[in-house]
Structure 1
């Protein structure tokens, strides 16, 4: 037995568990808070380094009696998780200095990452259930941690609807296990094909709620616009992975039946189209940038679901497209909500008129936020362009879906470009250094660098 194979999961687990507990006891004053924040940064950076090195060394294979399986998609999803958290926490670090719950925020963010990492390598239903419970509970709490009225109201709505979706998940897994006759995500035969289709449908409802796809997005606009901007920079980026990762694992494992393949194409293609269309249409009617980003995130999920629709007929390229688009979305979303937090502190509003003068007063911030918006739009060579390109290529067997995706991608310019335009109009805006501003710039630089290197992802996937 190769015990070194256990290091990529054991090292991050021990680090994150120790740090998530330690920060709760370290934070007693401003100096100790800085040390707690430093410990969190250090833990996440070391975790990211371990994952990248393990991926580079080709450390793949089963572990813990095949409950976990180290593979390329798992590593890449884990990388997206930690990168998104680092961007979000760069903005949150200084923003939540005056919060009584600041150490709880650091702890819960790390625990969310741990849950998503375990789900990324899951090979067993019980691992997904455990990872989901940890990560979901943490994101519900994170939404409310500022403890102002709007954040608590948004968090309670998120929690109640989350409990409903969890019920669908439990029913879905029950049907899945009975249909396949195993707790393992890897199966070669199906006892009850129709029951498997029902199980996948119920699981899809549960996880699509978590990622805010239409028609399960009812909670999303209120939560994204009412809760604290810093908290939402994490929930709207890494929080989406809590739904995407387990759904991806379920659809890529095992040997699907013909009925399941047809059901997956029909279900996810329909929801993809509806999410893109509804997200775009409603975003057009909004003048508040937070609301625009909320509905655009529904449309962005629609693009990601193109890959899910074809995941069982063109797995390799669909996985590349899904991961690339997820990474682009996580980086941009974390950066842009931190941008809104910074904007609100200076101009007092997140409406379009509050953007005026940024290009003249703070060119670095204007350039960085423009890059992130163009990444969501899909302009080359920024990372978001490659995500959409790979997704459209993966769906070549469904040309009508590609055409609808391209039309919706072009249509999204109608609400991204006005946001950029407002930043270049006359107005007054002061340069103020902050963690939120730094996170926007870091996210933009990453979007460019990773965008230039994105074609190498195809090589990694072979």
Structure 2
């Protein structure tokens, strides 16, 4: 096999490893050092994204490397692209936000290491690769949550860490059952020694990964982290951090040859969790007046929509994968942008409550328009990217019409807490135009949501 086939993974790996170590030594506390470290990080993320897009364009996929431990396929590329696109949005908001942090170089390094872990999980073909990628990316996100070092961030981060250790235990037990039942470490199996044990293993793995994405009833850590931790940290953890759970779950459920019992178990488990996540997330979000809390609980509902695709992933994998990717890309971009928006709003108006939005449409029309686009993307209004994600997901679940009806009703109900966010922007207030990295991030995210939304139908063409 030509060594050129290794480049889509080898180049990002080497560049990210070098940069994640280099920024720790470059930044010695001076302003020019920080600008250099930040520039290196940004360049690393952009170069990696460019390599992935170029490799995808050159059709360098559908083959394995490193003795079959990695398999380069279309879903892996698209999930990796979503990871680095979300990172660019989150990183833009951190430009000036963390300039005075003593831990700013650690933040830059950990962001890159998180991306590296997700990259390897996206192309994983082996249980050990997922364990390695999970360890790197999960540990990094726990630290990122606490890096601001204020009391609220540390409290939230410790809770996140403790519950994360519990979920990791479920993952280890789940993979132990998975390996025993399939008789291999490879995620691509064709025969089973103990079918019932595989179902148990998948249930344990699902608990672990559903914790990471904050689906009901495994969302206990999420409200505290999203509302108490630093907004810049949350913009990354709440967006790219969700891929740490979605990517391995997708790999585990799609690469093997599922039995009839496994298909029924997957449909039953994920359809129930999907409905509960949508309903509970929406109900609790209705009762909140703080925008950070609204976005926290709405993210639980958003995961419910994504789990619609997981419910039928073994029935119609092609359409389900297209829906999952499109919706997670829409979510990652919007979530990263909106939490940077909250960070900017908190500095300008002093609060993230709904009344803090008043006057924004008059005082800063660019920011108001951009944030409205992101909110409408989460709501699923065409032609913004979030509309196509929900449309593809609902189409993939045609075999479960009752689930589609529940999802559509919950999507419509979410307008009850998204629309008030928009309404408050047009009320009289005193918000002024203040330029910042967070503001630039919101504008960037809105442009991406529109542009990628226009191109979104091509994703179905790519999946065939």
TM norm structure 1 = 1.00
- The CA distance in 2 between the partners of 1:215 and 1:459, in whole Å, is 35
Q: Secondary structure at the match of 1:94?
A: coil
Deviations 1:433-462 (A, max 9, x none): 000000000000000000000000011111
Q: What aligned pairs does 1:425-444 form with structure 2 within 5 A after superposition?
A: 425-444=427-446
Structure-1 residue corresponding to 2:241: 239
Q: Distance in 1 between matches of 2:164 and 2:198?
A: 23
- For residues 21-36 of structure 1, the aligned pairs below 5 Å read 21-28=21-28, 29-36=30-37
Offset at residue 403 of structure 1 (A): 0.3
Q: Give the superposition deviation at 1:272.
A: 0.1
Q: Secondary structure at the match of 1:93?
A: coil
Identify the residue that residue 19 of structure 1 maps to in structure 2.
Answer: 19
Q: Distance in 2 between matches of 1:227 and 1:132?
A: 22
Pair 1:89 & 2:128 matched: no
Equivalent in the alignment of 2:426: 424
Deviation at 1:2, TM superposition (A): 1.8
Q: CA deviation at 1:186?
A: 0.2
Task: Say whether residues 1:415 and 2:414 are aligned partners.
Answer: no
Report the secondary structure of 1:162's partner residue: helix
Partner residue, 2:180: 178
Q: What whole-Å deviation, never above 9, does each CA across 1:328-372 have from its counterpart, x for those lacking one?
A: 000000000000000000110000000000000000000000000
Q: Residue 143 of structure 1 is aligned with which of 142, 145, 149?
A: 145
Q: What are the residue-to-residue correspondences of 1:276-287 with 2, within 5 Å? A: 276-287=278-289
Moved over 4 A (4+): none
| Residue 378 of structure 1: how far off its partner (Å) | 0.1
Q: Does 1:455 align with 2:454?
A: no
Segments of structure 2 that go 5 or more residues without pairing to the other structure are none
Q: Which residue of 1 aligns with 2:7?
A: 7
Partner of 1:51: 52
Deviations, residues 126-175 of structure 1 (Å, cap 9, x unaligned): 00000000000000000000000000000000000000000000000000
1:93: Cα distance to partner?
1.6
The aligned residue for residue 340 of structure 1 is 342
Cross-structure match for 1:116: 118
1:29-428 aligned at under 5 Å gives the runs 29-60=30-61, 61-428=63-430
SS of alignment partner, residue 64 of structure 2: strand
Local SS of the residue matching 1:45: helix
> What is the root-mean-square deviation in Å for CA atoms of aligned residues?
0.3
Where 2:278 maps in the other structure, the secondary structure is: helix
When the two structures are superposed, what TM-score results if normalisation uses the length of structure 2?
0.99
Q: CA deviation at 1:254?
A: 1.0
CA distance in 2, matches of 1:254, 1:272: 23
User: What's the secondary structure of 1:179's corresponding residue?
Assistant: helix
Which whole-Å CA distance do the structure 1 matches of 2:164 and 2:181 have between them? 25
Per the TM alignment, residue 112 of structure 1 is displaced from its structure 2 partner at its CA by 0.1
Cα-to-partner distance string for 1:196-223 (whole Å, 9 max, x where unaligned): 0000000000000000000000110011
**Count of aligned pairs:** 462
Alpha-carbon shift at residue 396 of structure 1 (Å): 0.2
